[in-house]
Amino acid sequence: MLNLFNIKTLGGWTDESYDLLLEKLHDILPDENDIPKSTYYAKKRMCPLGLEYIRIHACPNDCVLYRKEYENLDACPKCGVSRYKRKGSNPNRKKWPPAKVLWYLPIIPRFKRLFSIKEEAKNLVWHDEGRKKDGNIRHPADALQWKHIDETFPEFGKEARNLRLALSTDGMNPYGTLSCQHSTWPVLLSIYNLPPWLCMKQKYIMLALLISGPKQPGHDIDVYLAPLIEDLKLLWEEGVPVFDADTSTTFTLRAMIFCTINDFPAYGNLSGYKNKGEKACPICEEEMIPQRLKHCGKNVYMHTRRLLRRDHPYRNKKKEFNGHKEKRTIREPLTGVELYEKIKDVETIYGKHNTPTTKKGFLWKKVSVFWSLAYWKHLSVRHCLDVMHIEKNVCDSIIGTLLNMPDKTKDGPHVRRDMKLANIRPKLWPYDNSKTKKSFLPHAGYTLSKEEKRIFCECLHGIKVPTGYSSNIKRLVSMKDKRLIGMKSHDCHVMMQVILPIALRGLLQKHVRHTIVQLCLFFNAICSKVIDPKKLDDMQTDVVETLCKLEMCFPPSFF
Protein backbone atom coordinates (compact mmCIF):
# COMPACT_ATOMS: atom_id res chain seq x y z
CA MET A 1 0.00 0.00 0.00
CA LEU A 2 2.89 2.35 0.73
CA ASN A 3 4.41 1.76 -2.72
CA LEU A 4 1.06 2.33 -4.40
CA PHE A 5 0.52 5.54 -2.43
CA ASN A 6 3.99 6.71 -3.48
CA ILE A 7 3.00 6.26 -7.13
CA LYS A 8 -0.24 8.16 -6.48
CA THR A 9 1.68 11.08 -5.00
CA LEU A 10 4.39 11.22 -7.66
CA GLY A 11 1.83 10.95 -10.46
CA GLY A 12 -0.53 13.51 -8.98
CA TRP A 13 -3.50 11.14 -9.10
CA THR A 14 -6.85 12.21 -7.73
CA ASP A 15 -8.57 10.20 -5.01
CA GLU A 16 -11.23 9.12 -7.52
CA SER A 17 -8.67 7.66 -9.95
CA TYR A 18 -6.87 5.96 -7.06
CA ASP A 19 -10.17 4.41 -5.93
CA LEU A 20 -10.64 2.97 -9.43
CA LEU A 21 -7.14 1.46 -9.35
CA LEU A 22 -7.70 -0.16 -5.94
CA GLU A 23 -11.03 -1.62 -7.03
CA LYS A 24 -9.49 -3.06 -10.20
CA LEU A 25 -6.55 -4.55 -8.28
CA HIS A 26 -8.94 -6.10 -5.76
CA ASP A 27 -10.89 -7.75 -8.58
CA ILE A 28 -7.79 -8.96 -10.48
CA LEU A 29 -6.02 -10.56 -7.49
CA PRO A 30 -7.29 -13.82 -5.92
CA ASP A 31 -10.34 -13.67 -3.69
CA GLU A 32 -8.28 -14.02 -0.52
CA ASN A 33 -6.46 -10.68 -1.07
CA ASP A 34 -7.02 -7.86 1.42
CA ILE A 35 -6.38 -4.87 -0.88
CA PRO A 36 -8.62 -1.98 0.38
CA LYS A 37 -11.15 -0.71 -2.12
CA SER A 38 -10.89 3.03 -1.39
CA THR A 39 -8.38 5.74 -0.58
CA TYR A 40 -9.91 6.18 2.87
CA TYR A 41 -9.23 2.58 3.90
CA ALA A 42 -5.80 2.69 2.25
CA LYS A 43 -4.81 5.62 4.48
CA LYS A 44 -6.28 3.84 7.48
CA ARG A 45 -4.15 0.80 6.67
CA MET A 46 -0.97 2.91 6.75
CA CYS A 47 -1.70 4.60 10.10
CA PRO A 48 0.45 2.12 12.12
CA LEU A 49 3.48 3.30 10.12
CA GLY A 50 3.42 6.57 12.03
CA LEU A 51 2.60 8.75 9.03
CA GLU A 52 -0.21 10.49 10.86
CA TYR A 53 -0.82 14.21 10.88
CA ILE A 54 -2.74 16.55 13.15
CA ARG A 55 -5.42 18.76 11.61
CA ILE A 56 -5.88 22.01 13.54
CA HIS A 57 -8.52 24.63 12.79
CA ALA A 58 -7.27 28.22 12.60
CA CYS A 59 -8.89 31.62 12.75
CA PRO A 60 -9.33 33.09 9.22
CA ASN A 61 -7.65 36.27 10.51
CA ASP A 62 -4.67 34.30 11.87
CA CYS A 63 -5.44 35.26 15.48
CA VAL A 64 -5.35 31.84 17.20
CA LEU A 65 -5.30 28.11 16.63
CA TYR A 66 -8.27 26.16 17.98
CA ARG A 67 -6.27 23.96 20.31
CA LYS A 68 -5.79 23.61 24.06
CA GLU A 69 -8.08 26.14 25.78
CA TYR A 70 -9.64 27.22 22.46
CA GLU A 71 -10.36 23.72 21.16
CA ASN A 72 -14.14 23.72 21.75
CA LEU A 73 -14.84 27.32 20.72
CA ASP A 74 -16.99 28.03 17.65
CA ALA A 75 -15.65 31.56 17.08
CA CYS A 76 -12.34 33.35 17.51
CA PRO A 77 -11.97 34.79 21.05
CA LYS A 78 -10.14 37.84 19.66
CA CYS A 79 -11.94 38.88 16.48
CA GLY A 80 -15.23 36.97 16.82
CA VAL A 81 -15.07 35.39 13.34
CA SER A 82 -16.57 31.90 13.07
CA ARG A 83 -14.14 29.01 12.75
CA TYR A 84 -16.40 27.45 10.10
CA LYS A 85 -17.20 28.60 6.60
CA ARG A 86 -20.88 29.03 7.50
CA LYS A 87 -22.30 31.20 10.24
CA GLY A 88 -25.12 30.71 12.70
CA SER A 89 -26.05 28.15 15.31
CA ASN A 90 -26.70 24.61 14.20
CA PRO A 91 -26.25 21.29 16.03
CA ASN A 92 -24.45 19.93 12.94
CA ARG A 93 -22.02 22.84 12.73
CA LYS A 94 -19.00 20.62 13.44
CA LYS A 95 -19.66 18.89 10.12
CA TRP A 96 -19.10 22.16 8.29
CA PRO A 97 -15.65 22.69 6.74
CA PRO A 98 -13.26 24.94 8.71
CA ALA A 99 -12.45 28.38 7.34
CA LYS A 100 -8.70 27.78 7.64
CA VAL A 101 -6.65 24.74 8.56
CA LEU A 102 -3.13 23.94 9.74
CA TRP A 103 -1.68 20.48 9.17
CA TYR A 104 1.02 19.52 11.65
CA LEU A 105 3.17 16.45 11.06
CA PRO A 106 4.85 15.55 14.39
CA ILE A 107 8.62 15.46 14.03
CA ILE A 108 9.58 13.34 17.05
CA PRO A 109 8.20 10.01 15.68
CA ARG A 110 10.09 10.59 12.43
CA PHE A 111 13.36 11.26 14.25
CA LYS A 112 12.84 7.99 16.15
CA ARG A 113 12.21 6.17 12.89
CA LEU A 114 15.47 7.50 11.40
CA PHE A 115 17.51 6.21 14.33
CA SER A 116 15.73 2.82 14.19
CA ILE A 117 17.39 2.14 10.80
CA LYS A 118 21.03 1.15 11.20
CA GLU A 119 22.29 2.87 8.04
CA GLU A 120 20.43 6.11 8.80
CA ALA A 121 21.61 6.13 12.41
CA LYS A 122 25.19 5.88 11.17
CA ASN A 123 24.65 8.77 8.74
CA LEU A 124 23.34 10.98 11.57
CA VAL A 125 26.75 10.94 13.31
CA TRP A 126 28.73 11.48 10.09
CA HIS A 127 29.52 15.09 11.08
CA ASP A 128 31.47 13.78 14.06
CA GLU A 129 32.97 10.52 12.79
CA GLY A 130 33.16 10.73 9.00
CA ARG A 131 33.87 14.42 8.38
CA LYS A 132 37.33 15.50 7.23
CA LYS A 133 38.68 17.96 9.81
CA ASP A 134 41.43 20.00 8.18
CA GLY A 135 40.29 23.53 9.05
CA ASN A 136 38.38 24.12 5.82
CA ILE A 137 34.63 24.63 5.68
CA ARG A 138 32.92 21.64 4.11
CA HIS A 139 29.93 21.28 6.42
CA PRO A 140 27.99 23.42 8.93
CA ALA A 141 29.90 21.55 11.67
CA ASP A 142 33.03 23.42 10.50
CA ALA A 143 31.35 26.79 11.12
CA LEU A 144 32.07 28.97 14.15
CA GLN A 145 28.40 28.93 15.20
CA TRP A 146 28.40 25.12 15.55
CA LYS A 147 31.54 25.27 17.69
CA HIS A 148 30.13 28.15 19.75
CA ILE A 149 27.01 26.14 20.57
CA ASP A 150 29.16 23.17 21.65
CA GLU A 151 31.15 25.45 23.98
CA THR A 152 28.12 27.29 25.38
CA PHE A 153 26.08 24.12 25.96
CA PRO A 154 28.66 21.36 26.55
CA GLU A 155 26.05 18.77 27.58
CA PHE A 156 24.33 19.21 24.24
CA GLY A 157 27.59 19.28 22.28
CA LYS A 158 29.17 16.16 23.73
CA GLU A 159 26.42 13.92 22.30
CA ALA A 160 27.09 13.63 18.56
CA ARG A 161 23.61 12.23 17.89
CA ASN A 162 21.86 15.44 18.98
CA LEU A 163 20.32 17.07 15.94
CA ARG A 164 20.95 20.50 14.40
CA LEU A 165 18.06 21.52 12.17
CA ALA A 166 17.55 24.21 9.53
CA LEU A 167 14.03 25.61 9.11
CA SER A 168 12.78 26.96 5.77
CA THR A 169 9.44 28.32 4.63
CA ASP A 170 8.01 30.14 1.65
CA GLY A 171 4.72 30.66 -0.14
CA MET A 172 3.63 28.44 -3.04
CA ASN A 173 0.58 27.87 -5.17
CA PRO A 174 -0.34 24.17 -4.87
CA TYR A 175 -2.47 24.25 -8.01
CA GLY A 176 0.44 24.32 -10.45
CA THR A 177 0.06 27.92 -11.62
CA LEU A 178 2.21 31.02 -11.14
CA SER A 179 -0.76 33.04 -9.89
CA CYS A 180 -0.32 34.76 -6.52
CA GLN A 181 -4.04 34.64 -5.71
CA HIS A 182 -3.49 31.57 -3.51
CA SER A 183 -0.56 31.15 -1.12
CA THR A 184 0.04 27.95 0.85
CA TRP A 185 3.05 27.94 3.19
CA PRO A 186 4.96 24.70 3.90
CA VAL A 187 7.48 24.71 6.77
CA LEU A 188 10.40 22.34 6.13
CA LEU A 189 13.19 21.00 8.34
CA SER A 190 16.61 19.88 7.12
CA ILE A 191 19.00 17.81 9.26
CA TYR A 192 22.55 19.16 9.31
CA ASN A 193 24.03 16.09 11.03
CA LEU A 194 23.92 14.31 7.68
CA PRO A 195 26.66 14.43 5.02
CA PRO A 196 26.38 17.36 2.58
CA TRP A 197 25.27 15.08 -0.26
CA LEU A 198 22.30 13.86 1.82
CA CYS A 199 21.23 17.05 3.66
CA MET A 200 19.22 18.42 0.75
CA LYS A 201 17.84 15.12 -0.57
CA GLN A 202 14.06 14.95 -0.69
CA LYS A 203 14.13 11.84 1.49
CA TYR A 204 15.63 13.72 4.44
CA ILE A 205 13.74 17.02 4.19
CA MET A 206 10.82 16.87 6.60
CA LEU A 207 7.54 18.68 6.09
CA ALA A 208 6.65 19.86 9.59
CA LEU A 209 3.76 22.26 8.93
CA LEU A 210 1.44 23.07 6.05
CA ILE A 211 -0.38 26.40 6.43
CA SER A 212 -3.37 26.55 4.11
CA GLY A 213 -4.24 29.62 2.03
CA PRO A 214 -5.52 31.50 0.26
CA LYS A 215 -3.76 34.35 2.09
CA GLN A 216 -0.25 34.20 3.42
CA PRO A 217 0.20 34.35 7.22
CA GLY A 218 2.74 37.21 7.11
CA HIS A 219 3.94 38.26 10.57
CA ASP A 220 1.24 36.05 12.12
CA ILE A 221 3.16 32.93 11.11
CA ASP A 222 4.19 32.56 14.77
CA VAL A 223 0.61 31.46 15.55
CA TYR A 224 1.03 28.47 13.23
CA LEU A 225 4.54 27.66 14.42
CA ALA A 226 3.30 27.08 18.02
CA PRO A 227 2.92 23.23 17.79
CA LEU A 228 6.37 22.89 16.25
CA ILE A 229 7.96 25.21 18.82
CA GLU A 230 6.46 23.12 21.64
CA ASP A 231 8.10 19.98 20.27
CA LEU A 232 11.39 21.84 19.80
CA LYS A 233 11.28 23.02 23.43
CA LEU A 234 10.70 19.45 24.55
CA LEU A 235 13.60 18.23 22.41
CA TRP A 236 15.90 20.90 23.85
CA GLU A 237 14.95 20.99 27.53
CA GLU A 238 14.14 17.36 28.33
CA GLY A 239 14.81 15.29 25.24
CA VAL A 240 13.11 12.03 24.29
CA PRO A 241 14.37 8.45 24.66
CA VAL A 242 15.35 7.00 21.28
CA PHE A 243 16.73 3.59 20.27
CA ASP A 244 19.89 3.76 18.16
CA ALA A 245 19.99 0.77 15.80
CA ASP A 246 23.67 1.36 14.95
CA THR A 247 24.94 0.92 18.53
CA SER A 248 21.89 -1.03 19.85
CA THR A 249 21.56 1.42 22.75
CA THR A 250 18.93 3.85 23.97
CA PHE A 251 19.87 7.49 24.46
CA THR A 252 18.14 10.81 25.14
CA LEU A 253 17.74 12.69 21.87
CA ARG A 254 17.85 16.48 21.89
CA ALA A 255 17.57 18.89 18.95
CA MET A 256 17.82 22.58 18.12
CA ILE A 257 17.12 24.98 15.27
CA PHE A 258 20.57 25.89 13.96
CA CYS A 259 19.28 28.64 11.64
CA THR A 260 16.46 29.52 9.25
CA ILE A 261 16.97 29.83 5.49
CA ASN A 262 14.47 31.91 3.51
CA ASP A 263 14.09 34.61 0.92
CA PHE A 264 13.98 38.23 2.11
CA PRO A 265 10.17 38.62 2.58
CA ALA A 266 9.98 35.39 4.62
CA TYR A 267 13.03 36.60 6.56
CA GLY A 268 10.93 39.53 7.78
CA ASN A 269 7.97 37.30 8.65
CA LEU A 270 10.06 34.99 10.84
CA SER A 271 12.31 37.58 12.47
CA GLY A 272 9.66 40.25 13.05
CA TYR A 273 11.68 43.00 11.37
CA LYS A 274 9.91 45.45 9.04
CA ASN A 275 12.06 44.75 5.99
CA LYS A 276 10.03 46.98 3.69
CA GLY A 277 10.38 50.70 3.18
CA GLU A 278 13.28 53.03 3.85
CA LYS A 279 14.94 51.04 6.66
CA ALA A 280 14.81 47.64 5.02
CA CYS A 281 18.17 46.29 6.21
CA PRO A 282 17.93 44.39 9.55
CA ILE A 283 21.66 44.94 10.19
CA CYS A 284 21.90 48.69 9.55
CA GLU A 285 18.39 49.46 10.95
CA GLU A 286 18.17 53.20 11.81
CA GLU A 287 21.49 53.99 10.10
CA MET A 288 20.17 52.98 6.69
CA ILE A 289 19.61 56.15 4.64
CA PRO A 290 18.09 55.57 1.19
CA GLN A 291 18.37 57.92 -1.75
CA ARG A 292 15.05 58.79 -3.38
CA LEU A 293 14.83 58.79 -7.17
CA LYS A 294 12.25 61.45 -7.94
CA HIS A 295 11.38 60.43 -11.50
CA CYS A 296 11.60 56.67 -10.94
CA GLY A 297 9.60 56.92 -7.72
CA LYS A 298 11.72 54.43 -5.78
CA ASN A 299 14.38 54.29 -3.08
CA VAL A 300 17.90 53.15 -3.91
CA TYR A 301 20.68 52.06 -1.58
CA MET A 302 24.06 53.07 -2.96
CA HIS A 303 26.07 52.97 0.24
CA THR A 304 28.45 50.08 -0.37
CA ARG A 305 31.43 52.40 0.09
CA ARG A 306 30.78 52.37 3.84
CA LEU A 307 32.24 48.85 3.84
CA LEU A 308 35.54 50.01 2.36
CA ARG A 309 38.59 50.90 4.43
CA ARG A 310 38.81 54.57 5.40
CA ASP A 311 41.66 55.44 3.01
CA HIS A 312 40.14 53.76 -0.06
CA PRO A 313 40.13 56.09 -3.13
CA TYR A 314 36.50 55.19 -3.98
CA ARG A 315 35.33 57.05 -0.86
CA ASN A 316 36.32 60.44 -2.34
CA LYS A 317 34.67 59.97 -5.74
CA LYS A 318 31.41 61.84 -6.28
CA LYS A 319 30.05 61.81 -9.82
CA GLU A 320 30.81 58.12 -10.30
CA PHE A 321 28.55 57.28 -7.34
CA ASN A 322 25.75 59.29 -5.72
CA GLY A 323 27.32 62.76 -5.93
CA HIS A 324 28.72 62.75 -2.39
CA LYS A 325 31.86 61.66 -0.59
CA GLU A 326 31.44 58.73 1.77
CA LYS A 327 32.77 59.28 5.30
CA ARG A 328 30.56 56.88 7.23
CA THR A 329 31.54 53.40 8.39
CA ILE A 330 29.48 50.25 8.57
CA ARG A 331 27.52 49.42 11.66
CA GLU A 332 28.50 46.24 13.47
CA PRO A 333 25.59 43.76 13.79
CA LEU A 334 24.11 43.34 17.25
CA THR A 335 24.64 40.10 19.12
CA GLY A 336 21.63 37.95 19.95
CA VAL A 337 21.65 39.08 23.59
CA GLU A 338 21.87 42.79 22.63
CA LEU A 339 19.08 42.45 20.09
CA TYR A 340 16.78 40.65 22.51
CA GLU A 341 17.29 43.35 25.15
CA LYS A 342 16.31 45.90 22.52
CA ILE A 343 13.08 44.25 21.34
CA LYS A 344 11.88 42.23 24.34
CA ASP A 345 9.31 44.90 25.37
CA VAL A 346 7.67 45.10 21.93
CA GLU A 347 3.96 44.34 22.28
CA THR A 348 3.07 41.42 20.04
CA ILE A 349 -0.53 41.11 18.87
CA TYR A 350 -1.50 38.59 16.21
CA GLY A 351 -4.35 38.82 13.75
CA LYS A 352 -5.10 40.55 10.46
CA HIS A 353 -7.83 42.69 12.02
CA ASN A 354 -5.47 44.36 14.49
CA THR A 355 -3.71 47.60 13.66
CA PRO A 356 0.05 47.79 14.37
CA THR A 357 0.71 48.80 17.96
CA THR A 358 4.43 49.47 17.63
CA LYS A 359 5.64 53.03 17.94
CA LYS A 360 6.11 55.05 14.78
CA GLY A 361 9.64 54.67 13.54
CA PHE A 362 10.28 51.48 15.52
CA LEU A 363 11.47 48.83 13.11
CA TRP A 364 10.45 45.64 14.92
CA LYS A 365 6.84 44.55 14.63
CA LYS A 366 6.90 41.65 17.07
CA VAL A 367 9.04 39.50 19.34
CA SER A 368 9.49 36.37 17.24
CA VAL A 369 8.37 33.07 18.72
CA PHE A 370 11.92 31.76 18.21
CA TRP A 371 13.11 33.92 21.11
CA SER A 372 11.22 31.55 23.44
CA LEU A 373 13.87 28.92 22.62
CA ALA A 374 16.55 29.09 25.31
CA TYR A 375 19.46 28.91 22.90
CA TRP A 376 18.19 31.41 20.29
CA LYS A 377 19.92 34.49 21.75
CA HIS A 378 23.25 32.64 21.75
CA LEU A 379 23.24 32.08 17.98
CA SER A 380 25.51 34.41 15.99
CA VAL A 381 23.47 34.04 12.79
CA ARG A 382 19.81 33.23 13.35
CA HIS A 383 18.28 33.93 9.94
CA CYS A 384 20.04 33.25 6.63
CA LEU A 385 19.16 34.36 3.11
CA ASP A 386 18.94 31.76 0.36
CA VAL A 387 21.69 32.46 -2.15
CA MET A 388 19.66 31.21 -5.12
CA HIS A 389 16.95 33.84 -4.52
CA ILE A 390 19.66 36.51 -4.51
CA GLU A 391 21.22 35.09 -7.67
CA LYS A 392 17.85 35.17 -9.43
CA ASN A 393 17.24 38.82 -8.52
CA VAL A 394 20.74 39.84 -9.61
CA CYS A 395 20.66 37.74 -12.79
CA ASP A 396 17.26 39.13 -13.87
CA SER A 397 18.47 42.70 -13.33
CA ILE A 398 21.78 42.21 -15.16
CA ILE A 399 20.39 40.40 -18.20
CA GLY A 400 17.32 42.65 -18.38
CA THR A 401 19.55 45.74 -18.42
CA LEU A 402 22.12 44.31 -20.86
CA LEU A 403 19.44 43.29 -23.37
CA ASN A 404 17.29 46.36 -22.59
CA MET A 405 14.23 44.15 -22.02
CA PRO A 406 11.23 46.51 -21.52
CA ASP A 407 9.85 44.76 -18.44
CA LYS A 408 13.21 43.91 -16.86
CA THR A 409 15.65 46.73 -17.64
CA LYS A 410 16.82 49.10 -14.92
CA ASP A 411 17.66 51.77 -17.50
CA GLY A 412 15.34 54.31 -19.12
CA PRO A 413 14.52 58.02 -19.46
CA HIS A 414 13.33 58.33 -15.85
CA VAL A 415 16.57 57.13 -14.28
CA ARG A 416 18.61 59.22 -16.73
CA ARG A 417 16.72 62.33 -15.56
CA ASP A 418 17.41 61.31 -11.97
CA MET A 419 21.13 61.14 -12.84
CA LYS A 420 20.93 64.68 -14.17
CA LEU A 421 19.08 65.81 -11.06
CA ALA A 422 21.80 64.27 -8.86
CA ASN A 423 24.54 65.76 -11.11
CA ILE A 424 26.24 62.43 -11.73
CA ARG A 425 27.49 60.84 -14.99
CA PRO A 426 26.80 63.78 -17.34
CA LYS A 427 27.65 61.65 -20.41
CA LEU A 428 24.45 59.65 -19.85
CA TRP A 429 22.07 62.58 -19.39
CA PRO A 430 19.13 62.56 -21.87
CA TYR A 431 18.94 65.05 -24.73
CA ASP A 432 15.49 66.59 -25.13
CA ASN A 433 14.42 67.56 -28.66
CA SER A 434 12.17 70.61 -28.40
CA LYS A 435 10.69 70.02 -31.87
CA THR A 436 9.76 66.34 -31.62
CA LYS A 437 9.37 66.51 -27.84
CA LYS A 438 11.29 63.24 -27.54
CA SER A 439 14.29 62.33 -25.45
CA PHE A 440 17.42 60.77 -26.85
CA LEU A 441 19.34 58.52 -24.46
CA PRO A 442 23.10 58.28 -25.08
CA HIS A 443 24.49 54.78 -25.39
CA ALA A 444 25.66 53.42 -22.04
CA GLY A 445 28.47 50.99 -21.42
CA TYR A 446 26.10 48.46 -19.86
CA THR A 447 23.78 48.00 -22.86
CA LEU A 448 24.46 45.75 -25.81
CA SER A 449 24.19 46.87 -29.43
CA LYS A 450 21.95 44.94 -31.85
CA GLU A 451 24.89 42.92 -33.13
CA GLU A 452 26.12 42.19 -29.60
CA LYS A 453 22.61 41.08 -28.59
CA ARG A 454 22.55 38.67 -31.51
CA ILE A 455 25.95 37.21 -30.57
CA PHE A 456 24.93 36.94 -26.91
CA CYS A 457 21.62 35.20 -27.67
CA GLU A 458 23.21 32.88 -30.26
CA CYS A 459 25.77 31.79 -27.67
CA LEU A 460 23.03 30.94 -25.15
CA HIS A 461 20.88 29.35 -27.87
CA GLY A 462 23.68 26.96 -28.78
CA ILE A 463 24.54 25.80 -25.25
CA LYS A 464 23.89 22.13 -24.47
CA VAL A 465 23.94 20.90 -20.87
CA PRO A 466 23.63 17.40 -19.36
CA THR A 467 20.19 16.14 -18.38
CA GLY A 468 19.23 17.47 -14.95
CA TYR A 469 21.96 20.13 -14.92
CA SER A 470 19.46 22.91 -15.67
CA SER A 471 16.57 23.67 -17.97
CA ASN A 472 17.16 23.49 -21.69
CA ILE A 473 18.75 26.93 -22.14
CA LYS A 474 17.80 26.94 -25.82
CA ARG A 475 14.11 27.10 -24.91
CA LEU A 476 14.67 30.16 -22.72
CA VAL A 477 16.13 32.26 -25.54
CA SER A 478 13.90 34.17 -27.93
CA MET A 479 16.02 34.87 -31.02
CA LYS A 480 13.26 36.95 -32.55
CA ASP A 481 12.97 39.43 -29.66
CA LYS A 482 16.58 39.02 -28.43
CA ARG A 483 15.54 38.31 -24.86
CA LEU A 484 15.41 35.56 -22.24
CA ILE A 485 12.07 34.37 -20.91
CA GLY A 486 10.86 31.97 -18.23
CA MET A 487 14.08 31.58 -16.22
CA LYS A 488 13.59 29.78 -12.90
CA SER A 489 15.76 30.19 -9.80
CA HIS A 490 18.00 27.24 -10.67
CA ASP A 491 18.45 28.49 -14.24
CA CYS A 492 19.64 31.85 -12.88
CA HIS A 493 21.94 29.98 -10.49
CA VAL A 494 23.58 28.12 -13.38
CA MET A 495 23.66 31.30 -15.46
CA MET A 496 25.53 33.26 -12.78
CA GLN A 497 27.86 30.39 -11.87
CA VAL A 498 28.93 29.21 -15.32
CA ILE A 499 27.19 30.47 -18.44
CA LEU A 500 27.09 34.28 -18.18
CA PRO A 501 30.90 34.85 -18.08
CA ILE A 502 31.22 32.64 -21.19
CA ALA A 503 28.42 34.36 -23.11
CA LEU A 504 29.85 37.85 -22.42
CA ARG A 505 33.33 37.15 -23.79
CA GLY A 506 34.30 39.91 -26.22
CA LEU A 507 31.13 41.92 -25.54
CA LEU A 508 30.53 45.17 -23.62
CA GLN A 509 33.21 47.56 -22.48
CA LYS A 510 36.10 45.86 -20.74
CA HIS A 511 35.55 47.32 -17.26
CA VAL A 512 31.82 46.48 -17.29
CA ARG A 513 32.40 42.91 -18.45
CA HIS A 514 35.14 42.31 -15.89
CA THR A 515 32.94 43.63 -13.09
CA ILE A 516 30.10 41.24 -13.99
CA VAL A 517 32.54 38.33 -14.22
CA GLN A 518 33.98 39.20 -10.80
CA LEU A 519 30.48 39.08 -9.31
CA CYS A 520 29.88 35.68 -10.93
CA LEU A 521 33.17 34.41 -9.51
CA PHE A 522 32.10 35.51 -6.04
CA PHE A 523 28.85 33.54 -6.26
CA ASN A 524 30.84 30.58 -7.53
CA ALA A 525 33.28 30.84 -4.61
CA ILE A 526 30.68 30.95 -1.82
CA CYS A 527 28.81 28.00 -3.39
CA SER A 528 31.90 25.80 -3.67
CA LYS A 529 32.10 22.52 -1.76
CA VAL A 530 35.22 23.55 0.17
CA ILE A 531 35.93 27.06 1.50
CA ASP A 532 39.16 28.12 3.16
CA PRO A 533 38.18 30.32 6.15
CA LYS A 534 41.44 32.24 5.78
CA LYS A 535 40.21 33.55 2.43
CA LEU A 536 36.83 34.79 3.70
CA ASP A 537 38.15 38.24 4.61
CA ASP A 538 39.68 38.61 1.14
CA MET A 539 36.41 37.47 -0.44
CA GLN A 540 34.55 40.09 1.60
CA THR A 541 36.95 42.83 0.48
CA ASP A 542 36.75 41.75 -3.16
CA VAL A 543 32.95 41.62 -3.30
CA VAL A 544 32.66 45.07 -1.70
CA GLU A 545 34.94 46.53 -4.38
CA THR A 546 32.96 44.63 -7.03
CA LEU A 547 29.69 46.15 -5.78
CA CYS A 548 31.28 49.60 -5.83
CA LYS A 549 32.34 49.01 -9.45
CA LEU A 550 28.76 47.97 -10.24
CA GLU A 551 27.58 51.29 -8.79
CA MET A 552 29.95 53.07 -11.17
CA CYS A 553 28.80 50.99 -14.18
CA PHE A 554 25.04 50.54 -13.77
CA PRO A 555 22.28 53.13 -13.23
CA PRO A 556 21.11 53.97 -9.69
CA SER A 557 17.76 52.16 -10.20
CA PHE A 558 19.76 48.92 -10.38
CA PHE A 559 20.20 49.21 -6.60
pLDDT of the residue at 194 = 93
pLDDT of the residue at 86 = 63
What are the b/e assignments for 114-137, b being 16+ CB within 10 Å?
Answer: bbeeeebbebbbbbeeeeeeeeeb
363: number of CA atoms within 13 Å, CB side?
19
- In 153-220, which residue ranges form alpha helices assigned H by DSSP? 154-157, 196-199
Q: SS in 3 state form for 305-372?
A: HHHCCCCCHHHHCCCCCCCCCCCCCCCCCCCHHHHHHHHCCCCCCCCCCCCCCCCCCCCECCCCHHHH
- In 200-261, which residue ranges form alpha helices assigned H by DSSP? 221-237
Give me the numbers of helices (H) and strands (E) for the chain, helices first please.
20, 15
Q: Is the peptide bond before 241 cis (omega within 30 degrees of 0)?
A: no
* Domain range summary for the chain, segments of one domain joined by +: 1-49, 107-180+189-202+219-283+333-385, 387-558
For residue 185, give Cα distances in angstroms to 27, 166, 266: 40, 16, 10
The amino acid present at 154, given as its one-letter code, is: P
pTM here is 0.86
To 10 degrees, what angle do helices 536-553 and 510-526 make?
Answer: 150
The amino acid present at 244, given as its one-letter code, is: D
Q: In tens digits, what is the pLDDT along the chain, a chain of 559 residues?
A: 888 888 988 888 898 999 999 999 989 999 888 889 888 888 888 877 666 788 999 988 889 999 989 888 888 888 888 888 765 555 455 556 788 899 999 999 999 999 999 999 999 999 998 889 888 999 999 999 999 999 999 999 999 999 999 999 998 888 766 667 788 999 999 999 999 999 888 889 999 999 988 888 888 999 999 999 999 999 999 999 999 999 999 999 999 999 999 999 999 999 999 888 888 888 888 888 888 889 888 888 888 889 999 989 999 988 888 888 888 888 888 899 999 999 988 888 888 876 555 556 688 889 999 999 999 999 999 999 999 999 999 999 999 999 988 888 898 889 999 988 888 888 888 888 777 777 788 888 888 889 999 999 999 999 888 888 888 888 889 888 888 888 888 999 999 999 999 999 988 889 999 999 999 999 999 999 999 999 999 999 999 999 999 998 898 898 8
Euclidean distance between the first and final Cα of the chain, in Å? 54
In angstroms, rounded to a whole number, what is the distance separating the alpha carbons of residues 556 and 420?
12
Query: Are the beta carbons of 373 and 235 closer than 8 angstroms?
Result: no
Query: Are the beta carbons of 45 and 37 closer than 8 angstroms?
Result: no
Report helix, strand or coil for 46. Answer: helix
Q: Beta 383-385 vs 255-262: how paired, if at all? A: parallel
